[in-house]
Amino acid sequence: MPQDNRTNRPAQHSPYQNRPAPQNRAQNRPAPQGQQGAYNPQYNQQQLYYKKLAKEKRRRMLRRRRIVFGCFVLCLCLLIFFVLRFALQKNDKNSPASAPASVATSTPASLPAAAQSTPPQNASTPPSTSVSTPAPEATAVPTNVDLSSWELLLANANNPIAEGYVPELALVDTQQHQFDKRAAPALKKMIADGNATGLQLMICSAYRSHERQTTLFNQLVSENKAKGMSEEEAVAKAKTIRNVPGTSEHETGLAADIVSVKHQVLEETFENTPEFAWLSENAHKYGFILRYSREKSAITGTIYEPWHYRYVGVENATAIKEQGICLEEYIAANG
């Protein structure tokens, strides 16, 4: 039997002995669920990067949605505000309080001669004796009214102020506004009592000299001409907004423009303030009337000015308010 020499054969070098181990393909594979980051750090960094991008994208989307929602809410609030404001204004115009009682009206041109009398030259003349008759009923125009009283001084286009007329004046606030000395206490008390209720009444204009009124009127005419109006059109337009020098109530020292601290512009929107509401209810108690109402602009010749208040005395102011008439009509009815 032949001898087997395989057991005595020397060990031979294997060609695979020093061959490098094959690369682990699992290193490039995604890690199984629940074992993220267990295999490849590079893969984990990529995953974190994509997560960060997705998170930032969600943030931007939420931010856009918040902005869109905020704009929608703001527009909705503005819409509700203007709808309510329009409804309130419509109710005010249609309310019975704004419809004056039926009275015989007359234009300034048809006023009697007694109503067109010129004021006294000397403002220091003592006032006439007050009416001694008892207070009239709410539905009757008072009789025996002294039309020559300084309280009923009429100033309009048909009743110019006497040339050189200057009343005796007194300061009524810290802004150096002046008022007729005889009516100044009533004005100061009205402002003080209104502010004591939490309002912020303030005077923005009171007495004006003839020179100052002339300057203001000419400025308004120049502004109208700058808008392309002719000289005649500019003057006619200015007359509806500002009285011609010599016909302005501000020159009598008996008129004041009253506004609020939060609403200092002379616009019709002042009628929407609590200050205007208080003046409408209480001004007559101090002897003041709303001189230029919306309903009487055809008679007064002046546009609606909810800020313009005129002193006429407590009895006269109460009668004018109760009747819903203007000063021209009141004088005409008692002429």
Burial state string for 2-37 with b = 16 or more CB within 10 A and e = fewer than 16: eeeeeeeeeeeeeeeeeeeeeeeeeeeeeeeeeeee
**Which pair of tokens denotes residue 283?**
């001004």
With tokens 């007064």, the residue in question is 300
Q: Is 305 a catalytic residue?
A: yes
CA 289, chain centre distance (Å): 21
Active-site position among 249, 251, 271, 305: 305
Nearest CA-CA partner of 203 in 236, 231, 170, 232 = 170
With tokens 């949605």, the residue in question is 65
Nearest CA-CA partner of 312 in 173, 130, 170 = 130
Length of the chain: 335
DSSP letters, 92-131, are HHHSGGGSPPP-----GGG--GGGGPPPPS-TTSPPPPPP
**Which sequence positions are flagged as catalytic?**
305
